[in-house]
Amino acid sequence: MRPFEGIKIIDLTHVLAGPFAAYQLGVLGADVIKVENPEDCDQSRHTGDNLELNRHDMGTNYLAQNSNKRAITLNLKTEKGRDILKQLARDADVLIENYRAGAFAALGIGYQEMKKINPRLIYCSMTAFGQDGPRGTQTAYDHAIQATSGIMAMTGTPEVNPLKTGAPVIDYSTGTMAAFAIASALFQRERTGSGQHIDCSMFDVALMLEASHIAGFMSTGKCPKPKGNSHAYASSYFYETKQGHIMLAASNHRQHTRLFAALGRPEMGHKDYEYRRKNFKSEAAELQKILMEKTAQEWEDYFQANHVPALRVRSMSEALADPQVKTRKILHRHERAAGFEGPMTVPMCAFKYEHGGPSIETPPPRLGEHNADVLASLGYSAADIATLHEEGVV
């Protein structure tokens, strides 16, 4: 039995952060019902690197995080659409939405209204800046939050900055943080019997990702500078080799000592952290000279055999071909699904359980694929559903 089996989640989210939060709960057993506007679906259905899939409302950005979900359409700007949502919420455990702060309350489907229907409901609102404060009504996406949070300003090199990260780290971190908050609220509800409102902010998550930098700034008053691939110590740095590049990560004292012992230069080990900071340039120059003698792969093999953290720089194709990926079972292969031909592989979860762990049973659904099933479970007849469709409610 997986952790969230028997838990019903209404997923009213779009793009990346919100759907990813619901997805992580879904692969752990929750029954996730994805709700989209029939005329304005989740925009991730139209985005991704495969243009043909985008044209079929099944873009790779959508496919990556919507397995194990059922999909229905509801126009929440109509009274009938809101009535159906309220019926779904009566026995739901969780509702997740990531619209502008106050938008759902204005429609009469905010937390204060929904908890009257279901006091045990956990209602998670995901926004750019949270539900309150001077920026509470502002909107943003991942890259904009990277810009305003200070992350871009510290990313890049002294010559080329600011830069955003290559992956949408704020979106996926926010999704993960929201899933953790929801799981915690469900655990709390087991003790109190009451649901609650979760206010999850992308900006807050970005600041949490900068935790050590913030602590440093609050102590010294100095803003972190863009350092490129550099770290404080030469033994934890990026180097060119005879072929390819390698990232050394011999950060602590023991690793630093082992690194130089492995290189036949034990006299450069056994240095304290302050010495290593002051002598960064001389140590880095010596390491660069030595590391040019072999390829990045040869150095990786050698260092790892000597318990020195070091890994060569790989492309995504190389990373995914690593046997470790298959061992960890982080990816799931859909042999077929509506909307695309042939197999499709998606990431599943970043951890394993001894038993009852994450798994995927169903592929990402087409837009409104489960309208009939979900509405029938609420007591709507086939004729009722046809009428709702004609009226633009579903």
3-state secondary structure the chain: CCCCCCCEEEEECCCCHHHHHHHHHHCCCCEEEEEECCCCCCHHHHCCCCHHHHHCCCCHHHHCCCCCEEEEECCCCCHHHHHHHHHHHCCCCEEEECCCCCHHHHCCCCHHHHHHHCCCCEEEEEECCCCCCCCCCCCCCHHHHHHHHCCHHHCCCCCCCCCCCCCCHHHHHHHHHHHHHHHHHHHHHHHHCCCEEEEEEHHHHHHHHCHHHHHHHHHHCCCCCCCCCCCCCCCCCEEECCCCEEEECCCCHHHHHHHHHHCCCHHHCCCCHHHHHHCHHHHHHHHHHHHCCCCHHHHHHHHHHCCCCEEECCCHHHHHHCHHHHHHCCEEEECCECCECCCEEEECCCCCCCCCCCCCCCCCCCCCCCHHHHHHHCCCCHHHHHHHHHCCCC
285, 233 contact by CB (below 8 A): no
Please answer whether residues 84 and 51 qualify as being in contact, where contact means their C-beta atoms are separated by less than 8 angstroms: no
Are the C-beta atoms of 394 and 75 separated by less than 8 Å?
A: yes
* 94 within 8 A of 29, measured Cβ to Cβ: no
The C-alpha atoms of residue 151 and residue 2 are separated, in whole angstroms, by 36
First-to-final CA distance of the chain: 33
Residues classed as catalytic: 171
